[in-house]
């Protein structure tokens, strides 16, 4: 427990006098350093969390959450399986894929074709939520839906014709020749990720199977979940439903990307924590100078019977109060900046006429931010813990002061 006397002396020592000007400067710099360290950590963590969430939403919005791929026989979708899947899924779609070459005048490009039935295509999340141009009811016969990035690169518009060369061969009297078909662009989609928009196109499922010599037994089952964030547990459930099939999720397809993001976030946390540590060491300097300046006061307190443990508490409290208030101020500053980081980006871009967050590099048109309460708690805990540790040494030094020697030289 902290006594009234200890509280009063702590508050008196916190109020720096004119003769303690240098000490006051050190305390201010300690406060500013810890506040900036905490606020910068919160801002960086919020932006990285926001970037990760936005990336997941775009990847999940474009791809199926879980895909079931057959090995050698058709996927068994019976009533029993459907009942189990209905508990965790909101949509089931049959699809197939193939690699082809798109030819437009003098340009050619390798693309991945995804085949869907017309009724399934119009229910895809990317078609209903993304920026979609054209007719979503017309994925039939030789019609194709392409990405916005691909339409820019090859100067394609709705109604244009393109030639696509299949990787499957066609037997002729002169040997095997690759299949070619002419498709008409019926729609243009935008996923928000340039890599998808530039390399993937949609055509009718039966047209694709004919074009690549595929059978209905090779169709994949795409599963769209109610909660795609909890992918690992739901993937395990689906593996029990389809034990003889190959199953992969959006997380498996992008494991290296999200692992790299996680490592980067952890490294940034460690590096930026050094700011707090450096600022906290200023507290040691400040408290050591305070002990030196208050030698006479400490000696008098000991002479009138104040215990060593009370002296330790007083100087320990001074360091903790500086660190705690700085941490709280840093939290307020960091959360405020995190909430208005996009407004700040637009303001700086307008004032200095620069592009701070290029869409073609980061895949996102706005700077995302997601405040995570757990991250703020961990940052605050680390900051206060560092402050507590660095406050111990000066407090012990003050308690060891010999009152007789201190008063002798005053």
Backbone angles phi, psi at 217, to 5 degrees: -70, -20
Query: Is residue 74 in some structural domain?
Result: no
Closest CA to 316 of 112, 10, 16: 10
266 with 371, same domain: the answer is yes
Query: Is residue 364 in some structural domain?
Result: yes
Which long-range contacts does 300-306 make (Cβ < 8 Å, 24+ apart)?
Answer: 300/403, 300/407, 301/9, 302/401, 302/403, 303/403, 303/407, 306/5
309 with 396, same domain: the answer is yes
**Which of 225, 243, 271 marks a domain boundary?**
225
Residues 6 or more apart whose Cβ sits within 8 Å of residue 401: 291, 295, 298, 299, 302, 311
Query: Is residue 284 in some structural domain?
Result: yes
Query: Is residue 78 in some structural domain?
Result: no
- CA contacts within 13 A on the Cβ side of 66: 28
Backbone angles phi, psi at 187, to 5 degrees: -160, 160
User: According to the model, what pLDDT value does residue 57 have?
Assistant: 77
390 with 267, same domain: the answer is yes
Number of domains in the chain: 2
Question: What residue ranges in 227-272 does DSSP mark as E strands?
Answer: 246-249
Encode burial over 250-287: b for 16+ CB neighbours within 10 A, e otherwise: bbeebeeeeeebeeebeebbeebbebbbebbebbbbbb
Instruction: In whole angstroms, give the CA distance from residue 272 to residue 334.
Output: 13
Instruction: In whole angstroms, give the CA distance from residue 181 to residue 184.
Output: 10
158 with 275, same domain: the answer is no
Is residue 62 within 8 A of residue 196, CB to CB? The reply is yes
Residues 6 or more apart whose Cβ sits within 8 Å of residue 258: 52, 56, 251
Size of the chain, expressed as the number of residues it contains? 410
210 with 125, same domain: the answer is yes
User: According to the model, what pLDDT value does residue 16 have?
Assistant: 58
272 with 333, same domain: the answer is yes
User: Average pLDDT of each block of 10 consecutive residues along the chain (410 residues)?
Assistant: 71 62 66 85 86 78 85 77 79 89 84 90 80 84 89 88 82 69 90 83 91 87 84 85 86 79 80 78 74 72 76 81 87 90 79 67 69 87 85 79 62
Is residue 65 within 8 A of residue 224, CB to CB? The reply is yes
Domain housing 149 = 89-225
Q: Tell me the three state secondary structure of residue 256.
A: helix
47 with 117, same domain: the answer is no
- Number of neighbours of residue 94 by Cβ within 10 angstroms: 16
Query: Is residue 361 in some structural domain?
Result: yes
User: According to the model, what pLDDT value does residue 365 have?
Assistant: 61
300 with 359, same domain: the answer is yes
pTM score? 0.71
User: According to the model, what pLDDT value does residue 331 have?
Assistant: 92
Query: Is residue 231 in some structural domain?
Result: no
Instruction: In whole angstroms, give the CA distance from residue 234 to residue 225.
Output: 8
Instruction: In whole angstroms, give the CA distance from residue 132 to residue 61.
Output: 13
Query: Is residue 79 in some structural domain?
Result: no
160 with 217, same domain: the answer is yes
296 with 221, same domain: the answer is no
Q: Tell me the three state secondary structure of residue 378.
A: helix
Which long-range contacts does 275-279 make (Cβ < 8 Å, 24+ apart)?
Answer: 275/33, 275/36, 275/37, 275/40, 275/41, 276/33, 276/34, 276/37, 276/38, 276/41, 276/382, 276/383, 276/386, 277/386, 278/33, 279/29, 279/30, 279/32, 279/33, 279/34, 279/36, 279/37, 279/326
């Amino acid at each position: 427990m902290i006594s009234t006397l200890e509280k009063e002396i702590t508050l008196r020592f916190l109020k720096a006098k004119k003769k303690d000007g240098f000490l006051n400067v050190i305390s201010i710099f300690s406060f500013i350093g810890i506040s900036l360290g905490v606020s910068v950590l919160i801002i960086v963590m919020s932006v990285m969390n926001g970037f990760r969430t936005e990336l997941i939403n775009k990847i999940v919005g474009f791809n199926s959450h879980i895909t079931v791929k057959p090995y050698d026989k058709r996927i068994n979708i019976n009533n029993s399986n459907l009942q189990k899947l209905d508990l965790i899924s909101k949509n089931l779609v049959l699809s197939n894929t193939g690699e082809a070459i798109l030819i437009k005048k003098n340009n050619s490009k390798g693309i991945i074709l995804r085949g869907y039935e017309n009724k399934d295509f119009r229910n895809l999340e990317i078609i209903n939520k993304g920026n979609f141009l054209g007719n979503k009811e017309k994925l039939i016969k030789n019609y194709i839906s392409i990405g916005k990035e691909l339409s820019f690169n090859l100067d394609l518009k709705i109604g244009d014709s393109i030639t696509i060369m299949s990787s499957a061969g066609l037997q002729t009297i002169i040997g095997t020749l690759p299949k070619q078909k002419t498709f008409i662009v019926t729609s243009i989609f935008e996923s928000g990720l340039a890599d998808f928009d530039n390399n993937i196109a949609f055509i009718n499922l039966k047209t694709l199977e004919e074009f690549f010599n595929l059978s209905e037994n090779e169709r994949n089952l795409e599963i769209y979940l109610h909660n795609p964030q909890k992918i690992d547990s739901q993937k395990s459930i689906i593996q029990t439903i389809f034990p003889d099939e190959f199953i992969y999720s959006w997380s498996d397809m992008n494991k290296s990307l999200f692992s790299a993001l996680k490592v980067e976030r952890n490294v940034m946390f460690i590096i930026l924590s050094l700011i707090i540590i450096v600022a906290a060491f200023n507290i040691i300097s400040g408290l050591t100078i305070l002990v030196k300046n208050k030698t006479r006061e400490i000696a008098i307190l000991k002479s009138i019977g104040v215990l060593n443990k009370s002296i330790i508490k007083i100087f320990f409290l001074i360091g903790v109060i500086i660190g705690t208030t700085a941490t709280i101020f840093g939290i307020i500053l960091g959360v405020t900046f995190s909430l208005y980081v996009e407004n700040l980006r637009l303001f700086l871009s307008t004032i200095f006429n620069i592009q701070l967050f290029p869409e073609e590099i980061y895949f996102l048109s706005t700077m995302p931010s997601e405040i995570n309460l757990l991250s703020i708690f961990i940052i605050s805990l680390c900051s206060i813990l560092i402050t507590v540790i660095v406050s111990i040494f000066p407090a012990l030094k003050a308690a060891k002061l010999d009152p007789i020697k201190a008063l002798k030289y005053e």
